[in-house]
Structure 1
Amino acid sequence: MIRIVETDLGQISYNLERKDVKNINLRVRADLTVYVSAAKSVPVKKIDELVFNRANYIFKALAEFKKSAEHKNATKQFVDGESVEFLGHNLRLKVVQDMNRHVECDGSFVTLFVKDPKNYLEKCNLLNRWLRAEFKKLIEEICIAYYPKFKKYGVEYPKIQFRTMISRWGSCQKKSNSLTFNTALVAAPRSSIEYVVMHEFTHLLHPNHSKKFYQQLSTFMPDWEERKKRLEEGR
């Protein structure tokens, strides 16, 4: 549910999700969205008041995330020889002038074919679209491969979503039967990405990090701890 709160600093649009939680939880995400979760018993008016009272924090966090994103892109020039992190590998970038915009990858180089090699936005947008498309394709491939393990437990195939997240690699919304994956995972090795997918799928059986959750995860993926460690160490 999308709600809008008017404040002295400006309008705040936030996504409200009803969950079995004790407190009203408010998070500002790296993709510049505001997310609030609260129990069904909490009146909407009370939630709106909390958002209103935290306007300073929300606008400050949004500004910091926006500045961080701009700085991250500013450090890249998208020129020959630059590094591109892709599925655990550091590939090198090539830029070629071509009227037909597309991307090619040979395992060592990522080549951007662009109309204007000096156009920063053209190169930035083309590379980011390609990375997102490749990541989406890989995630869907892994999900299809892992789903049979869960189908026998009566789990329906979930809706797969993608988002830029600051504090987690993935999330599971059991109520809506959906899994969300952090697009930043495109830089991680495939084995680590597989761990995140299996982790979130297992939450469809066990919503919290209980002993049963980890027992089930270990049954499906005995080496999950090693995969997780590689992900955390960035290798």
Structure 2
Amino acid sequence: MTHTVTVGDRKITYELTRKKVKNINLRIKPDGTVHVSASTAVTIAVIERFIRGRSDFILGAIDKFNAKNENRKILFVSGEKLSLLGTQHILYVKKGIRNYATDSDGNITLYVTDTDDYELKYKTYIIWLRSQCLPLMTLLCKRAYDEHYGKLGIDFPTIKVKDMRSRWGSCIPSKKILTFNVHLMEYPMPAAEYVVAHEFTHFLQANHSARFYEELARYMPDYKQREKLLK
């Protein structure tokens, strides 16, 4: 049963479970939710006094969780809507004996051993997203190469995908490697095509000079409109 305690100008919502335990047990799960277990002999008033006495710790843990995840768009709860390549999908999270994800009839289902573990759900989702992203980015790279960049004497590079925090892609000309952010799958296809062209252009111009954008525009005249999709 869910209860709420007011502490100053903040509220602490907790899930109470009645068990045959001697003490009041407090647990803050990885998803930031507060769980309390106590015997039926312990009154709500006593439990709330217990929570208020530990409010600094509880609120600090909640704030730390929120700060860590403030930039994450996906909460990983059942019924949540995910956008993949411009199409809406419904996410379902289910308990399983191993961690994996499936995509069927417009639904994405995460099977995880602990449905309360945000990091586990995130990791499982990223592994699945990588399996979707690599073939797509490889296909887009081959298309751009055949249509334009291969004609300029560039060798076809090794294509990689990663969970990148601060960039959409990277180019290492000396090693002939292009790496793309797996989260490009969460944006419309023209955005992914833009990043492919952007990184391929770095084989011709290493920096973001005027010449770089002139080269990019030769292949993709509407690159500015596509770039806006990522913002």
TM range (shorter): 0.5 to 0.7
Gap runs ≥5 in structure 1: 1-66
How many angstroms does 1:124 deviate by? 4.0
Return the match for 2:136 from 111, 122, 138. Answer: 138
Offset from partner CA, 1:106-139 (integer Å, 9 cap, x none) = 33x2123x37574646644432211121111211
User: Residues 132 and 219 (structure 1 numbering): CA distance in 2 closer, same or farther, change over 3 Å?
Assistant: same
Offset from partner CA, 1:139-168 (integer Å, 9 cap, x none) = 111011111221222111112222333332
User: Residues 185 and 69 (structure 1 numbering): CA distance in 2 closer, same or farther, change over 3 Å?
Assistant: farther
* Distance (Å, rounded) in 2 between the aligned partners of 1:129 and 1:78: 14
How many angstroms does 1:76 deviate by? 6.0
Residue identity in the other structure for 2:139: E
SS at match of 2:154: coil
User: Residues 207 and 87 (structure 1 numbering): CA distance in 2 closer, same or farther, change over 3 Å?
Assistant: same
Residue identity in the other structure for 1:132: R
Partner of 1:154: 153
Q: Is the 8 A contact 2:162 2:179 kept in 1?
A: yes
Q: Indicate the percent of aligned positions where both proteins have the same amino acid.
A: 37
* Distance (Å, rounded) in 1 between the aligned partners of 2:74 and 2:225: 32
In the alignment of these two chains, the number of paired residues is 165
* Distance (Å, rounded) in 1 between the aligned partners of 2:173 and 2:112: 45
* Distance (Å, rounded) in 2 between the aligned partners of 1:150 and 1:75: 34
Q: Is the 8 A contact 1:103 1:127 kept in 2?
A: no
Q: Is the 8 A contact 2:126 2:163 kept in 1?
A: no
Q: Is the 8 A contact 1:199 1:217 kept in 2?
A: yes
Q: Is the 8 A contact 2:133 2:161 kept in 1?
A: no
TM-score (norm 1): 0.58
Return the match for 1:126 from 124, 146, 149. Answer: 124
Q: Is the 8 A contact 1:147 1:157 kept in 2?
A: yes
Residue identity in the other structure for 1:200: E
* Distance (Å, rounded) in 2 between the aligned partners of 1:135 and 1:118: 24
User: Residues 146 and 81 (structure 1 numbering): CA distance in 2 closer, same or farther, change over 3 Å?
Assistant: same
SS at match of 1:80: coil
SS at match of 1:208: coil
Gap runs ≥5 in structure 2: 1-64
Residue identity in the other structure for 2:124: L
Q: Is the 8 A contact 1:95 1:117 kept in 2?
A: no
Partner of 1:86: 84
How many angstroms does 1:199 deviate by? 0.7
* Distance (Å, rounded) in 2 between the aligned partners of 1:74 and 1:217: 30
Alignment of 1:1-235 (within 5 A): 71=69, 78-95=76-93, 101-107=100-106, 109-112=107-110, 114=111, 118=115, 120=117, 123-148=121-146, 149-232=148-231
* Distance (Å, rounded) in 2 between the aligned partners of 1:231 and 1:90: 17
Q: Is the 8 A contact 1:169 1:196 kept in 2?
A: yes
SS at match of 1:126: helix
How many angstroms does 1:75 deviate by? 8.8
SS at match of 1:231: coil
How many angstroms does 1:187 deviate by? 1.5
User: Residues 176 and 116 (structure 1 numbering): CA distance in 2 closer, same or farther, change over 3 Å?
Assistant: closer
TM-score (norm 2): 0.59
* Distance (Å, rounded) in 2 between the aligned partners of 1:166 and 1:122: 18
Q: Which deviates more from structure 2 when the two are superposed, residues 219-228 or residues 165-174?
A: 165-174
